[in-house]
């Protein structure tokens, strides 16, 4: 128990743990101190000077977010000095911000807009910026509009500290300060992994995802097009937040109903493709392990890394290209699904794949980059046409005049609409690993995993890196070579944690067999395309929703999914078979340390 310090904030007296910031103390005391550059996931900056408070005995005002309480203090949060400073600093920010609110994707979720309303701003105190000064920088995934940037540096702290990607940095000084890429190259040409975490933490509309909504409407409105939507597990646990539900409310079946009313012709579950991924990736793992452990084939690399997260894939391509052989060759569920839809399903329903438009509802911004990768065309054209984020889908639904809360529960379409609980938990960090363990262990031993209720709890949670060991005993005859072997697995979320693992791999101190990495903190449920705001609590609530839904399902193991077995029987043959190899597996591209290509 650390030392408790008495503090007086306005007329409230309380005790806080030594080192608590004034901001945290105010929260405990039930007082609201406005913030702008502060974010619960990020290092403290103390630069916007909106949260300033008076501390008795100190000459200037202090930033509440950055002031650790180390001795008894008296704080005033609502004095004339404080109100004046907050208002003037807010006015200074507003006068530099290109505020065309009605054409901004953050209209309604903008923290600067909220503050302006809260402080009753009804005019620009200083001459305002009337024309945009900067060109908009656009990649397939991310859009940067510096005109709306208020230099709070949340994006930089996200990119450098939280994700350790470092695609963005501060350039210049003083009033000329800009958030820039290396050598001011377009965002599409630098090490940006498209994780979109900066978007989730930008208080304004300076960062956003590249919205394909207009193109999707065109496809939906074209009677010749068969438009399919596949929905990933995480959006259903979060999209409710866009419609007034509490974080952690799963709206799977209402979402299905909404998508049907928006006009999608078929509604499928990406969990199905997640199950398919487990079949392929699990088989790949066993094949790799046999080659490495029994055959002594040194060309086979262990540990194997998951490849579902396109942010992680691009991260390793940039920063650890020499380890690309460790990545599973499996495409992500999104891309596997696209390839199956435009081949097997197109043939099954008699639709020309050219007339088929596959949209993927994803929690992810990097999925936009992924579906535009040149290698993702094994069906003959683009396997997936559009990656659509949870936020963007909410706009499509709202635009259709649909009230999510009033909709009935509806199911997915079949035969590709059945997903297991194992596929569902892909949405949470550790989920892919848990799904793989549930299936691989049972395939090898003929028995379910030795965990209560199939919950592989050691790899659940929000610790940055988690691991587990599972000893194989009495395997089935064909897996005798695994008898007595302890399988070691690890899970990391957020590329900063992935970096820690990669550095250990480089040192040679890593003895895992299989590692799951998700680029985003919390896994997909914390993806860059998820509703804003995000915080550890919100992500934990979404995870609870996903795990609760898994528990309610009868089907909880990928290899028991009858529609998967039907797909293999009717079309693919077997995991890692010829057709699987062609449609469901891919290869990777070594990239530069600073730029997309080259150095």
Partner 1 sequence: MKNEKKKILFGEFVTGAGLARALEMGAGKVVDEVKASKLRGRGGAGFPTGLKWELTAKQESDEKFVICNADEGEPGTFKDRLLLMEQPEKILEGMAIAGFAIGAARGFVYLRGEYIYLRKILEDAIVSMTERNFLGKNIQDSDFSFDVEIFLGAGAYVCGEEFALISSMNGYRGEPRNKPPYPSEVGFRDKPTVVNNVETLCYVPYIVTKGSEWFKEHGTQASTGTKLFSVSGDVKHPGVYELELGITVNQLLTEVSGEGAKSVQVGGASGLNVAEKDFDKPICFEGLPPGGSIIVFNHKRDMLHVLKNFMEFFVEESCGQCTPCREGNYRLLEGVKMLEKGECSVRYLKELEALCDVMKDSAKCGLGQTSPNAFLSIVENFKTEILYR
The answer for residues whose C-beta is within 8 angstroms of residue 567's C-beta and 6 or more apart is 276, 340, 344, 415, 416
Query: What is the C-alpha to C-alpha distance for residues 523 and 429, in angstroms, rounded to an integer?
Result: 4
Q: Is 284 a catalytic residue?
A: yes
* Site for partner 1 contains 52 (CB under 8 A): yes
593 binds partner 1 (CB under 8 A): no
Q: How many residues bind partner 1 (CB under 8 A)?
A: 36
Distance of CA 143 to the CA centre of its chain: 17
**CA-closest candidate to residue 516, choices 450, 425, 588, 406:** 425
The full DSSP string for 454-493 is: G--GGG-SS-SEEEEEEE--S--GGGGGGTT-EEEEEEEE
**Which two structure tokens, joined as six digits, stand for 417?**
């609409």
* Rounded Cα gap, residues 386 and 229, in angstroms: 10
* Minimum gap (Å) between residue 462 Cβ and partner 1: 27
- Candidates 111, 242, 280, 281; catalytic one: 281
Binder of partner 1 out of 18, 81, 355, 405 (CB under 8 A): 81
Provide the pairing of β-strand 4-9 with 73-76: parallel
Rule CB under 8 A: is residue 47 a binding residue for partner 1? yes
Residue-wise DSSP of 87-122? HHHHHHHHHHS---GGG-TTTTT-HHHHHHHHTT--
Q: Is 75 in the site for partner 1 (CB under 8 A)?
A: no
Which residue among 93, 199, 313, 567 contacts partner 1 (CB under 8 A)?
A: 93
Query: From the CB of 17, what's the least distance to partner 1, in Å?
Result: 16
> Residue for token digits 């709206």?
251
Q: Shortest distance, CB of residue 175 to partner 1, whole angstroms?
A: 4
List binders of partner 1 among 96-125 (CB under 8 A).
96, 125
Beta bridge partners of 595: 190
Closest distance to partner 1 from the beta carbon of 37 (Å):
9
Sheet-wide strand order for 514-518: 304-305, 514-518, 486-493, 465-471
Pick from 41, 67, 310, 324 the residue near partner 1 by CB under 8 A. 67
| Minimum distance from residue 206 beta carbon to partner 1 (Å) | 15
d(CA 397, CA 264): 11
Give the interface segment with partner 1, choosing from 62-70, 379-387, 435-443, 515-523 (CB under 8 A): 62-70
In whole angstroms, how close is the CB of 92 to partner 1 at the nearest point? 4
Q: Which stretch binds partner 1 (CB under 8 A): 8-16, 39-47, 347-355, 446-454?
A: 39-47
Give me 122's structure tokens.
């009804």
By the rule CB under 8 A, 551 interacts with partner 1: no
Q: Choose, from 439, 516, 524, 563, the residue flagged as catalytic.
A: 524
Of 84-92, 108-116, 363-371, 417-425, the window that binds partner 1 (rule: CB under 8 A) is: 84-92
Pull the structure tokens for residue 583.
Answer: 């449609």
Query: Contact with partner 1 (CB under 8 A): which of 6, 40, 68, 448?
Result: 68
Q: Which single residue is written with the structure tokens 């350790």? A: 164
CB atoms < 10 A from the CB of 367, how many? 32
370 is catalytic: yes
Only one of the segments 57-65, 428-436, 541-549, 561-569 lies at the binding site for partner 1 (rule: CB under 8 A); that segment is: 57-65
Active site residue 280: no
Distance in Å, CB of 181 to partner 1, minimum: 16
Pair type for strands 12-17 and 356-362: unpaired
Q: Catalytic pick from 43, 322, 375, 537?
A: 375
User: 515 forms bridges with which residues in the sheet?
Assistant: 305, 490
Contacting residue, 8, 28, 46, 594, with partner 1 by CB under 8 A: 46
State which residue, 123 or 452, has the beta carbon closest to partner 1: 123
Element (H, E) at 12: strand 12-17
70 binds partner 1 (CB under 8 A): yes
375 classed as catalytic: yes
Question: Catalytic one among 241, 242, 317, 370?
Answer: 370
Near partner 1 in 142-161, by CB under 8 A: 151, 153
Establish if 206 lies at the interface with partner 1 (CB under 8 A).
no
Residue 125 vs 347, nearer CB to partner 1: 125
Based on CB atoms, which residue is closest to partner 1, 68 or 72? 68
Rounded Cα distance between 493 and 508, Å, is 21
524 is catalytic: yes
Helices (runs of H) and strands (runs of E) counted in the chain: 20, 18
Please tell me the distance from the alpha carbon of residue 434 to that of residue 491, in angstroms, as a whole number.
10
CB of 158 to partner 1, least distance (A): 17
Window 165-204: residues binding partner 1 (CB under 8 A): 170, 172-177
- Per CB under 8 A, which region of 87-95, 503-511, 523-531, 575-583 contacts partner 1? 87-95
Alpha helices in 266-389 (DSSP H): 270-289, 310-319, 333-340, 346-349, 366-371
Q: Which of 37, 308, 371, 520 is catalytic?
A: 308
Largest CA distance in the chain: 79
- Does residue 74 carry a catalytic annotation? no
20 φ/ψ angles, rounded to the nearest 5 degrees: -60, 140
Return the active site residues: 281, 284, 308, 328, 367, 370, 375, 524
| Residues contributing to the site for partner 1 (CB under 8 A) | 44-50, 52, 60-61, 63, 66-68, 70, 81, 84-85, 88-89, 92-93, 95-96, 125-127, 151, 153, 170, 172-177
């Amino acid at each position: 128990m650390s030392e408790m310090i008495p503090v007086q904030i306005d007329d409230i007296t309380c005790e806080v743990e030594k080192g608590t910031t004034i901001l945290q103390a105010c929260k405990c005391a039930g007082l609201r101190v406005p913030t702008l550059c502060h974010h619960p996931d990020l290092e403290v900056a103390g630069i916007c000077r909106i949260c300033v408070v008076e501390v008795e005995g100190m000459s200037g005002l202090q930033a509440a977010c950055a002031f650790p309480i180390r001795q008894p203090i008296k704080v005033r949060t609502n004095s004339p000095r404080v109100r004046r400073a907050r208002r003037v600093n807010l006015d200074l920010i507003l006068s530099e911000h290109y505020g065309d609110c009605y054409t901004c994707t953050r209209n309604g979720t903008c923290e600067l807009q909220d503050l302006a309303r809260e402080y009753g701003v009804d005019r620009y105190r200083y001459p305002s910026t009337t024309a945009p000064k900067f060109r908009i920088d656009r990649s397939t995934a991310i859009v940067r509009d510096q005109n709306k940037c208020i230099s709070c540096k949340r994006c930089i702290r996200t990119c450098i500290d939280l994700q350790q990607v470092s695609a963005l940095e501060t350039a210049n000084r003083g009033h000329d300060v800009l958030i820039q890429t290396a050598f001011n190259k377009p965002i599409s040409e630098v090490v940006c992994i498209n994780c979109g975490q900066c978007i989730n933490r930008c208080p304004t509309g300076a960062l956003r995802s590249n919205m394909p909504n207009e193109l999707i409407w065109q496809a939906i409105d074209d009677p010749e097009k068969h438009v399919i939507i596949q929905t990933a597990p995480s959006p259903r646990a979060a999209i409710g937040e866009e419609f007034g539900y509490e974080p952690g409310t799963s709206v799977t079946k209402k979402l299905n109903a909404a998508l049907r009313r928006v006009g999608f012709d078929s509604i499928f579950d990406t969990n199905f493709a997640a199950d398919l991924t487990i079949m392929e990736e699990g088989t790949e793992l066993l094949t790799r392990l046999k080659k490495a452990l029994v055959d002594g084939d040194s060309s086979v690399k262990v540990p194997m890394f998951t490849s579902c997260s396109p942010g992680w894939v691009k991260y390793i391509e940039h920063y650890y290209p020499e380890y690309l052989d460790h990545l599973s060759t499996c495409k992500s569920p999104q891309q596997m699904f696209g390839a199956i839809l435009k081949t097997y399903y197109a043939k099954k329903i008699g639709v020309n794949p050219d007339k088929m438009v596959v949209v993927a509802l994803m929690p992810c911004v990097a999925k936009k980059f992924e579906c535009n990768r040149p290698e993702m065309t094994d069906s003959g054209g683009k396997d997936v046409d559009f990656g659509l984020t949870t936020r963007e889908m909410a706009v499509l639904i709202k635009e259709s005049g649909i009230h999510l809360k009033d909709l009935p529960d509806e199911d997915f379409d079949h035969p590709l609409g059945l997903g297991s609980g194992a596929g569902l938990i892909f949405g949470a960090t550790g989920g892919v690993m848990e799904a793989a363990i549930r299936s691989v262990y049972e395939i090898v031993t003929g028995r379910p995993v030795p965990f209560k209720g199939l919950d592989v709890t050691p790899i659940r949670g929000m610790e940055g890196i988690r691991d587990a060991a599972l000893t194989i005993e009495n395997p089935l005859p064909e897996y005798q070579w695994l008898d007595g072997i302890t399988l070691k697995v690890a899970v990391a979320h957020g590329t900063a944690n992935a970096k820690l693992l990669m550095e250990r791999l480089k040192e040679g101190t890593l003895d895992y067999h299989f590692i799951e990495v998700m680029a985003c903190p919390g896994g997909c449920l914390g993806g860059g395309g998820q509703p804003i705001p995000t915080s550890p609590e919100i992500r934990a609530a979404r995870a609870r929703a996903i795990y609760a839904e898994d528990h309610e399902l009868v089907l909880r193991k990928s290899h028991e999914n009858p529609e998967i077995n039907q797909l293999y029987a009717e079309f693919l043959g077997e995991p890692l078979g010829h057709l699987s190899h062609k449609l469901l597996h891919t290869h990777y591209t070594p990239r530069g340390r600073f730029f997309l290509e080259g150095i």
